[in-house]
Amino acid sequence: MAVATMARSDGDPHHVRGGEVHSGPAPKRIVTGYGFWIFILSDMVMFSAFFATYAVLLGQTAGGPSGGQLFDLPNVAIETGFLLASSFTCGLATIAADARNKLWFQIAMAVTCLFGLAFLTIEGREFASLVARGAGPTRSAFLSAFFTLVGCHGLHVSGGILWLLTMMAQVFAKGFRADIQRRILCFALSWHALDIIWIAVFTVVYLLGSAA
Amino acid sequence: MTNGHHEIDHNIDIAPGDEHFEGGIGERVLGYLTGLGLAILLTATSFFVAGTDLVWQPSIPVALVVLAIAQMGVHLVFFLHITTGADNTNNVLALAFGVLIVMLVIGGSLWIMANLNHNMMPMDLLMQMQR
């Protein structure tokens, strides 16, 4: 392993290759993307606190309904499918932006927006049905933790959809300028990151939560 | 000022989310399709495993956690393009630090709270003492 690394030292970014000088600051696209990546990771740290809270309070139902009695798993599977599909179309929008194809960018972003809205609609109906059945966030510590965690993810998706619409408008009005391209990069990062957090949500909250 | 990342030399860093690619648009779409296929497969397996009685029941939570971590890996590689390439070192190191903090917060909370729960006097005894 070490030998292989040594042999490939010309591919190592820390080694300046002969004749070529990498001086000066990194391009703005890398600095912006990296900074936003750090922000995404800090957002995940915040979510980890909510996940820890949920895991600790999972059994504290105060005599109320438990996850197994409340959760509708087929519904969650459909919700997951919509968010996954939106992550894919968001990737297509990234490719279209790199190819500077306005039409395909707008189509892919519009489809992403529709999938995101479908996800939010299913989540909203689930919340409404829980509250209607007397299982609102005030019922037990378990339900408080549930609504905080899943609601926080839902708020992130709502914010993401507003950002998505802003990017569609900016590309429409200003085209693929360098600053717009950086914003598209950051938007795609955050949208894919929300999907990663949703993997943890459906696993921990719904699948593990309904078994407990 | 170059505005794309196409001009960037292959041996320096790339931004997180940017793809290190040589192929055309078709190949990139194929990359996302591969990611989508793997993600659907892992998600379907998760939902199947959660409801099945075909496997030894105590193994189900472990299987679900493993499937979730695998799917996060798929998303990181195929959607966020965080890879082990030399041009991705900074992005991977930031991710590693993030994972460390997440593990400390979740693992630490569960450990401490389980320990407190274990050592706490049963509630009815506690109520009697307060009379």
Please state the domain extents for chain B.
25-129
pLDDT tens for the 131 residues of chain B, in order:
444 444 444 456 788 888 876 678 889 999 999 999 999 999 999 999 998 888 888 899 999 999 999 999 999 999 999 887 778 889 999 999 999 999 999 999 999 999 998 888 777 777 788 77
Cβ neighbour number for residue A14 with a 10 Å cutoff: 8
Sign, Cα dihedral of B81, B84, B87, B88: positive
Interface membership of A207 toward B (CB under 8 Å): yes
Instruction: List CB contacts (< 8 A) between A192 and chain B.
Output: 17, 75, 79-80
CA dist B53 to A35, A112, A135, Å?
A: 46, 36, 29
Domain layout of chain A by residue ranges = 28-211
With 0.90 as the threshold, say if the pTM is over it.
Answer: no
Cα gap A114→A106, rounded to integer Å: 12
CB-CB under 8 Å, B13 with A13 = yes
Least CA distance to B71: which residue of chain A? Answer: A199
Query: For A11, which DSSP code?
Result: G
Domain A28-211 has CATH 3.90.245.10: no
Q: Is A52 on the interface with B (CB under 8 A)?
A: yes
- Beta-carbon contacts of A82 under 8 Å, excluding residues fewer than 6 positions away, are A115, A116, A118, A119, A122
pLDDT band at A13 (very low <50, low <70, confident <90, very high): low
- The verdict on a CB contact (< 8 Å) between A45 and B2 is no
Contact B15, A185 (CB under 8 A): yes
